[in-house]
Structure 1
Amino acid sequence: MKQTLDDLNIEPKKTRARVEGILESCRLYMQIGYHPGHETRTTARYSLTPSSVTNTFHSSTESIAQKNVDEERRRRELVESVWAAVEMLNDVEKQIVKMRYLEDDDALDYIVFGELNLSERKYYRVKARAFLKLALAMGVAVYKEAV
């Protein structure tokens, strides 16, 4: 018996929006690579509080460097998790997601279904199934609230 979105209690529009957002972020991260989100201060700051000897960072440069490393790791983990989820899709689903969201900025739906020689209806049906699988694999599905 085939399960539907109603059986899974999933909000299709919200789930699709969340998956599309993640795919767009993934493509952006792959395009720009690491880009620091914070800049260091180049002017001195003085404080009346004496410095202490602890294991915490003492300078803004060290603190920002740590934030940049953490952000780079977060971006890398997102890209890796997206690609791992995409690799679990069947061949047609994988082609749709890669062509439309991961490879080219200018790839629109009508271009992709034309290149894959799919009807528009079949394309959107396969894409919806791929998004459901991605949402479940990445743990980002949006569930309906119990009333």
Structure 2
Amino acid sequence: MKKKFNTYLPAIDYKATKKEVEKTFEEYRMYLVTLPSDFLPKITPSYSQLPPSFTNEFHSSTEDAAIERIEFENARQRFINRIHEAVNSLKQDERFIIIKSFMDKDIGYDPDIYLELGIGKTRYYEIKGEAMLRLAFDLQIEVYKKKNEVKSA
């Protein structure tokens, strides 16, 4: 008697996965253009009615802001590098589409991009969908359908 293997692979929810990739690129663009002002040190004096404590700990809002900013910058740089590595792992046409669609300073429109690539509309959307799916797997942000959704679909 042959042994049957359980080869259940969860089904991908393509719409939700696409939204996750788009959200990730929105976050990417925000990281490129912003640095929150709450990471800046306070420049106004603050007074307290509590007596100062004389311990070995030195506590300064400037130091706290500097540490917080460094941690933010490190997290920001790791995130941006992760996006760049994922995009660089794509095929040439996929990379071109993703860069033009999400990463350029001026985001391109789909018709302009597929005309620039010299391919048809249908093929363009196939390539873009494959690229977004690859990115979702590389970035580990893919979304799976629940078991009860798979049976009914």
Query: Considering the TM-score relative to the shorter chain, is it more than 0.5?
Result: yes
RMSD between superposed Cα atoms in Å: 2.1
Gaps of 5+ in 2: 1-8, 149-153
- The one-letter amino acid paired with 1:17 is K
- CA 1:54 to 1:109, structure 2 compared with 1: closer, same or farther past 3 Å? farther
**Which whole-Å CA distance do the structure 2 matches of 1:54 and 1:117 have between them?**
67
- The one-letter amino acid paired with 1:12 is Y
1:102 match: 103
1:125 match: 126
Deviations 1:60-86 (A, max 9, x none): 221111111111111111111011001
Sequence identity percentage: 31
- CA 1:46 to 1:16, structure 2 compared with 1: closer, same or farther past 3 Å? same
1:16 match: 18
* Aligned residues of 1:113 and 1:123 also touching (Cα < 8 A): yes
* Aligned residues of 2:42 and 2:61 also touching (Cα < 8 A): yes
Deviations 1:18-48 (A, max 9, x none): 1112223323434x3x734423222222331
Give the aligned length.
Answer: 138
- The one-letter amino acid paired with 1:50 is P
* Aligned residues of 1:27 and 1:103 also touching (Cα < 8 A): no
**Which whole-Å CA distance do the structure 2 matches of 1:116 and 1:123 have between them?**
9
**Which whole-Å CA distance do the structure 1 matches of 2:120 and 2:62 have between them?**
55
TM-score by length of structure 2 reads 0.78
State the structure with more CA Rg.
2
* Aligned residues of 1:10 and 1:143 also touching (Cα < 8 A): yes
> Following superposition of structure 1 onto structure 2, how do residues 1-147 of structure 1 map, counting pairs within 5 Å?
7-30=9-32, 32=33, 35-38=35-38, 39-47=40-48, 48=50, 50-51=52-53, 53=55, 58-147=59-148
* Aligned residues of 1:37 and 1:68 also touching (Cα < 8 A): no
Gaps of 5+ in 1: 1-6
- CA 1:124 to 1:51, structure 2 compared with 1: closer, same or farther past 3 Å? farther
1:4 match: none
- CA 1:51 to 1:142, structure 2 compared with 1: closer, same or farther past 3 Å? farther
| 3-state secondary structure, aligned to 1:68 | helix
* Aligned residues of 2:41 and 2:61 also touching (Cα < 8 A): yes
**Which whole-Å CA distance do the structure 2 matches of 1:77 and 1:98 have between them?**
19
**Which whole-Å CA distance do the structure 2 matches of 1:53 and 1:105 have between them?**
53
Report the Cα offset of residue 49 of structure 1: 5.5
